[in-house]
Amino acid sequence: MSANQDTVEEPLDLVPQENGASAENGTAQKFDPNFTQAVINATGPKANPRVRKVVGSLIQHLHDFLRENEVTVEEWLAGVDLINQAGQMSDDKRNEGQLMCDVLGIESLVDEITYKVATDAPDQPTATAILGPFWRKDAPKRQMGDTIVHGIDDGDHAYMYGRVTDFSTGKPIENAELDVWHTAPNGLYEQQDPNQVDYNLRGRFTTGKDGKYSFYCLRPTSYPIPFDGPAGKLLQLLDRHPMRPAHIHFIVSLRQYQGCHILS
């Protein structure tokens, strides 16, 4: 999922709409027109300027949303319950809150914003993509040419290789770390599947002087977003399909680089 949005400079001090709702819809005043600004003005003078700006804008938009849709206490509590469920299901192996952001397009949008803000190059380096909720920290380090497949006999094995290069010069990049992961043929990441060994189908590889990388994996398969949590419930409420196309995740990083090319 992707979204396009122009960058807009938000004012630091926000003023509520006169009608207590979006001015463009012409809705007659129903609600206290001073309430939102009073909440924003409660921010103290020692607050970080960025926090003041972002939270003030968030309050304004959330209040406008609530007024525009005349959200009731019952509906608000249902939303709070959905958020609470996401937190209760999340741990170091599964991030349900991030999965909900994926469903709502939030992660894709902030990824686009971050990427566009980070570079002014007319021909930009390899585009970023969302991290996804199933990434795990500290995947095992492996040697080039190793396999990330363990304890799985089915599925089509694949040999993946390529080269990491400097965006400007095209020269190979040494010591770039590639963090890779993907699902098993049953469509499950290892932390979802008690039958897979810990950190299966994951690995971190470091390039040599030639910038090349190589490893054995499985041909990726498409899979559904799990329906056992609030993200799945949200998809069902929106009458949207849960399927994701087959893919392999890559994070390529080197401290002194903003961006690099992955050639495969």
Query: Is residue 115 in some structural domain?
Result: no
According to DSSP, the β-strands at 243-244 and 260-263 are unpaired
What pLDDT does 111 receive? 79
The enclosing domain of 248 has a CATH number of 2.60.130.10
Does some domain include residue 11?
no
Tell whether 248 is covered by a domain: yes
Any domain includes 90: no
Element (H, E) at 261: strand 260-263
Residue 230 belongs to a domain? yes
H/E run at residue 233:
helix 230-237
Question: Residue range 15-32: average pLDDT?
Answer: 53
Give the residue, 182 or 1, on which the prediction is more confident. Answer: 182
Q: Is the Cβ–Cβ distance between 217 and 160 less than 8 Å? A: yes
Q: Per-residue pLDDT tens for 124-147?
A: 667 777 777 889 999 999 999 999
Domain assignment present for residue 199? The answer is yes
Mean pLDDT, to the nearest integer, of 17-31? 52
- Going by pLDDT thresholds of 50, 70 and 90, the confidence category of residue 154 is confident
Contact 230, 100 (CB under 8 A): yes
Higher per-residue confidence, 239 vs 144:
144
Could you tell me the residue range of the domain that residue 258 belongs to?
Answer: 125-263
Geometric angle at alpha carbon 150, from 144 and 154, rounded to 5°: 115
Task: Quick: pLDDT tens for 41-56.
Answer: 888 888 888 888 988 8
Please count the CA atoms within 13 angstroms of the CA of 108 that sit on its side-chain side. Answer: 10
For the whole model, what pTM was predicted?
A: 0.60
Q: Is the pLDDT of residue 114 over 60?
A: yes
**What confidence score (pLDDT) does residue 46 get?**
85
Per-residue pLDDT reduced to its tens digit, 176-208: 999 999 999 999 999 989 999 999 999 999 999
pLDDT at 250 over 60: yes
Q: What is the rounded average pLDDT of the residues 6-26?
A: 42
On whether the CB atoms of residues 215 and 180 are closer than 8 A, the answer is yes
The strand pairing partners of 180, in sequence order, are: 203, 250
**Percent share of the chain, pLDDT over 90:** 38
Q: Are 245 and 141 in contact (CB under 8 A)?
A: no
pLDDT the model gives residue 66: 92
Q: Is residue 247 part of a domain?
A: yes
Residue 7 has pLDDT above 70, yes or no: no
- Looking at the domain assignment, is residue 206 inside a domain? yes
Domain total in the chain = 1
Nearest by Cα to 174 from 219, 144, 217: 144
